[in-house]
Every structure is written in structure tokens, then in C-alpha cells.
Structure 1
Amino acid sequence: MSALLAALVEQYDVLKNHLRRRFGDQEMIADVMQDLCVKVLERQDKAAPTATPLNLLKHMGRHLAIDHYRADVARGAVMVAVDDVPEAATELAGPECAAMSGQTAAALLATIQALPERCREAFILVRLHDIPQAEAARILGITRGMVARHVARALEEIQPILDIHSGPHET
């Protein structure tokens, strides 16, 4: 058994708790730990000896968690279902308002999807999921200041769409 695999077996709970504290999502951490086990087993024969196997495992786990998060964002699992918003918002409105809301939602969705990846991720975490900027920074592995800049940029891109579609409506 390699030293890395031995450290994984011995320090499994410590590593899992470290990732849980860092990322919070229990289900994602379970997936990350499984992927980490697979990765260590696959590379068992090829792994170079390391003086600090727990640190290496924490590093690998962090990167796997970030990869999981990015994959979720890419699949749209983290994004709010924008298609549901117009239906709920237009139940009390007339057909013109319903069409306008659908157009606004489509334009917003297209604009959000067109944002650079980091900008989009930061915006979704902070504005759609109400995650504090410091927590979003930790999840994304960037500074809180960069999160604030990404969110500000996203809002600059989105605001013109809201201005165009938020003109006075007849009731």
C-alpha cells in the first residue's frame, strides 16, 4: 500500500471534515471523497513519495471540489431555473406583460451565460444564491475583492437589459 493511500485511509475523517468546513455542501463532499479515493487508487503505483501526504490529499480534495462546483455550474445545476420565473411573475399580468417577462428572462439568461466563467460563477453565488462574498471567494479560490469586481461587472452587463425591459407597463 502506498503512503498516500495509507494516509487517505488513516486520515479519511480529518480530510472529509476539512473539505466540509471549506465547501459546506455535504453531498458534494461525499462525491469529492469518492473521486479522491478513485484517483489515489488509480495512481497508487505511479505516485511519487511525499513527506506530507495529508497536505497533498487536502490539495487534491480542494481541486476536486472546485472541479465539482464548476461542473455543476456548467450543467446549470447551480443556476436558478429562469424559465420558471416568467410563469410565476405573469400569472396576474396580461399577455403583453407575459411576453415581455419571457423576453426579459431570455435576455437575462443569454447575458448571464455569455459572461466569462469566473464572472458568471461569482454572480450566481452572490446574487442568486445569496452567498456572502467572502464565502464565494473561498469556494472559487479567489479574493473577496475579485468576487466583488466580478459581480460588479456582471451587474454592468445585466443592467441595460433590465432598463430596456422595465419601462412603464399598463395595468
Structure 2
Amino acid sequence: MPALPLTALRPPISTLVHHYEELVAHVRRGPVARWFDAGMAREVVHDVCAELIERPPAPPRTPLAFLRTVCTRRAIDRCRIEQRHAFWVEGQAAPPDATALPDESCDPARILEGRQRLALLADSIHALPPRCRDVFVMHRIHGLPQQDIAQHLGISLKTVEKHLALGTAACRRALDDTLRDLSPP
């Protein structure tokens, strides 16, 4: 089969073929120049060419400017992908050791036990009287200082301390009762 003349190709592809080396040079000196050598720049232009063949766009008014923009964007995309890959690879200190024991935190029984304790604590907190619950949540969950809680709720610092003690004791009792029920006789 004879080769098609350049004029028979669609405008972006014929422009790419005609200005191939110029587009490679454009990618090499573009915004991601420090990452690209000639081989990488050629790969970017080749990728653009393959994309144009697979999905030809509507003919642009200025094909060379269109191709420069597409090549630049493709080079940026490729650099971002390589940076993410390098970050991921560098983040892995060493491949996991096949003989190593699995992490205990991944044990399904431990995960279930943790979820059950968390649900128990949530139920215990929910069962507290409203003011006691507010003080407990503000201090233990949100980390607010006791003085700020007293000011916010308009109560004394001693009352805040009392509510914290009651809330902590209720949660501790609930956990102790459950652990006692679960432990073997």
C-alpha cells in the first residue's frame, strides 16, 4: 500500500508530521523541561500523534498552536504521573517481608472488639444526663479546657470537674462490666 501524501492527512496530523522535530524541541524547553530528555519528549509527541489518530479532533484554526498546547499539556500530565509514582515508590522503604507476621491491628477479631468497645462507649456517653454529657464530650472529645467549658455553659469550674468525674466513672463502669462478662470464668 503506497504511503499517503502529507496533504491527504487531516490538518493536525499533517502539521504534526511536518513539525515533528519542532514539537519535540518545544516539549524539551517547555514548562517541564527539567524532567524531559529527547527520548521522553519524543514519547510525548508520539502519544499526541496516537491520540489524534484514534480520536481526530475538529480541524483547529491554527494546527501548530493547537499541537503545541496539546503536547505541553500531555508533558505536564506525564510529569505529574511520574512524580506520583516516584513519591509512592520512595514512600515504600522496602517490599513487605513475606515471612513477617501480620500486623496485629489488622486482625479481624481485634477490629471487631475495638468497634464493640467504641459502640459501648458511645452508648455510655449517650446515657449520661444532658449537662454531664455536654461537659464530657466538650472536654474528652473536643479537647476544650475545663475553664472554657465552665464559661461557655455558665457553670462553675467545680461543677465541670464533677460532671467529668461522673462521665468518666460511667464509661469505666460500662467497659469493666462488659470485660467482666466477656472474660472466661
TM-score (norm 1): 0.43
Structure whose alpha-carbon radius of gyration is higher: 2
TM-score (norm 2): 0.40
Q: State the structure with bigger RCO (CA 8 A, min sep 6), 1 or 2.
A: 1
